[in-house]
Structure 1
Amino acid sequence: MASYRQGLHQPGKYHLMTLAESEREGHDRHVPHRHDFFEIVWIQRGHGHVSCDLNGFEYRTNTLLIVSPGQFHAWRRESETEGFIAGFSPDFLAVNSEHPGLLAKMPFLYPENLDPILHLDRVEAGRVDQIFEQFQDLARQDAPGRDDLARGFLLVLLSYMRQLFAHRNQTADTPTRGESELLVQRFRLALEEHIPEVVEVGEFAELLGVSRTHLNNGLRRCTGRSASELIHERMLLEAKRRLLHSSLTIAEIAYELRFQDPSYFGRFFRKYTGVTPGVYRGSMQQELLAG
């Protein structure tokens, strides 16, 4: 594809480009936007802020950032920024999306209670530089097996990031919990792919090829929450995103999220936030204007 002539781009699979290449191709990262793939952003030099959904983070030289599918994000640079962007689809990394065992070992890809950002020291940054430089060398070659090599570089990078996140939290990696942990990751992938078209527990159980009871038991074992609780949590996030980043009316958002009527959507939203959708939208827009 000509627009990625300096980097790697395999539609629906993965891409690699420098931040400068991204800007030259007209990607306006200052405007809130979202993707259906993961992105790893490596800031080699620079300083500024990035917003991911409802949270904001400062980035500086030697910063790694994860952006998950569906997250609204935007950048505000305070100095010249240099680095790389590597993106990939869940299917490409897992090879077989029905058995995403690799994704199950990478919980930081789905930041919930964990900030999706790492500030590295000089030694750590040097290792990440080497990985991206080798990945970039791949872009200059047109040889068989390129997809396998790209997958290999991504897995090396993600495995190293797994160690960095574990070290930052001063805890060892949690041992896998077998089938239940894989089920959790498959469920989370299904949530990202199918919300809001699919919202019922039974529909997700059917998609995953398990019973409702098996799904709920596995989720409770690993997360302490039921499937319906996690679906509601994800629906609430989607509602907040659309209230904040779209011009749709509250009624239009309600119907897009498959609520029977706007009043039911309002009761749902108020139950979990304490305010109505209209009040939430107004207060958040005032905060954005003030900030």
Structure 2
Amino acid sequence: MHKAPASAVPVFKLYGETAVWPTPDLLHCESIAERSHRHDWEIKPHRHSDLVQLLYVQSGTAELEVEGVVHRVQQASLQVVPALSVHGFRFSQDVQGQVLSLALPLVEQLGALLEHPPLARPACYPVAGQQRYLDTLFDSIAQEYSAQQPGRELMLQSLISALLVWVGRRSLDLTRAETQVQDRGREHLQGFTRRLETQFREHLPIEHYAAELGISAAHLNALCRRLAGQSALQMINQRLLLEAKRSLVYTAMTINQVADSLGFSEPAYFSRFFKRSTGQSPKDFRLQR
């Protein structure tokens, strides 16, 4: 989906409309098809200044982009679109689902009752085994919204509160899962640095360390870049370089002996490694210290 510059992104009350809010309610409910079919099943990037949207894809396929993150949906999913988030959608013509737009005062009123506000960040939640529950909930909201029955406002607030509780629980589950992934990542990185400390002289390939940790080399590299700001190979080389500098400064070993102690097969190879890393030969480095 083409990304428009922020200054060129239109701000709508509802997509394609610049008129005032079309209902006295603090919410608006419609089917996905109701608006998207008028725009050739594509909602181009835009944002809402004072609306939060919950887009529920029940069936069909969709490409949902919010703040540059794209989810290609082929199963029932609920997309949260916070206020001011740039978003755009594409739908298959057989898409079934609902779009619920909530004005910020209503979101703040109902969200104040929850410990963790569930609509503050974009997220796409697969519905999985809870589709029947969400189908019933969204159908009830749509029916109550379109009818003018006694107690309508209270019923709508109750139904939306139930929906927010569902989203809040999924948000907490996602946060916990992300925390667990981060914790496992730190554990893997710590395991790598511990092994590196005892094995760096052996010039082992990254695949060796990854296998000892029970992860792939690509995963180990990604963890090192994300948590340490370097690739796994850079960390190995930095550890070798640190030991080389220590040996050149604090010992009387010859350069050949330093190279041998660090596992280099040839002194010339060590000298090339050192100069490539520092811009100096081992001899010049030692003389300047």
TM-score range, shorter chain: 0.3 to 0.5
TM-score (normalizing by structure 1)? 0.47
Structure of greater Rg: 2
